[in-house]
Amino acid sequence: MKLFSYSSCSTCRRAIKWLKNNDIAFDLIDILKAPPSKEMLISASELYGDRKYLLNTSGGIYRSLGSDVVKKMTNNEFFEKLYIEPRLIKRPFLYKSSKCLIVGFKEEKWAEKLL
């Protein structure tokens, strides 16, 4: 299981603590140095039913782009942008398989999927 995280993200730190407290093994990956692959991002989008759930909408990069620009992107442009600008990806990004991906951290959802 891979956990894509950003060291200064408090939500990521809470997720890491939760995984450790529940004795769940994971590989911690710095999302800025090694972002999720485009295939992982596409799988997450398909699983969630909409690519908007992958976005870190509270981040400065998203705000500087603007929602209108993001909405007008083709899927190819969208996933390429997330890959080259991983701060746009909602964190943490947990990848277990193409059918088990979790974006963001909500303890109850993580418990349901991982315990």
Task: Map out the domains of the chain as residue ranges.
Answer: 2-114
> 41: which residues sit within 8 A by CB, 6+ positions away?
54, 79, 82, 83, 89
Instruction: Please give the distance of CA 87 from its chain centroid, rounded to a whole number.
Output: 10
**What's domain 2-114's architecture?**
3-Layer(aba) Sandwich (3.40)
pLDDT value at residue 12: 96
The SS3 of residue 21 is helix
The SS3 of residue 34 is coil
Helix, strand, coil in percent for the chain, rounding step 5: 50, 15, 30
pTM assigned to the model: 0.89
pLDDT tops 90 at residue 97 = no
pLDDT tens-digit profile of 77-96? 999 999 999 999 999 999 99
Q: What is the mean pLDDT of residues 41-52?
A: 91
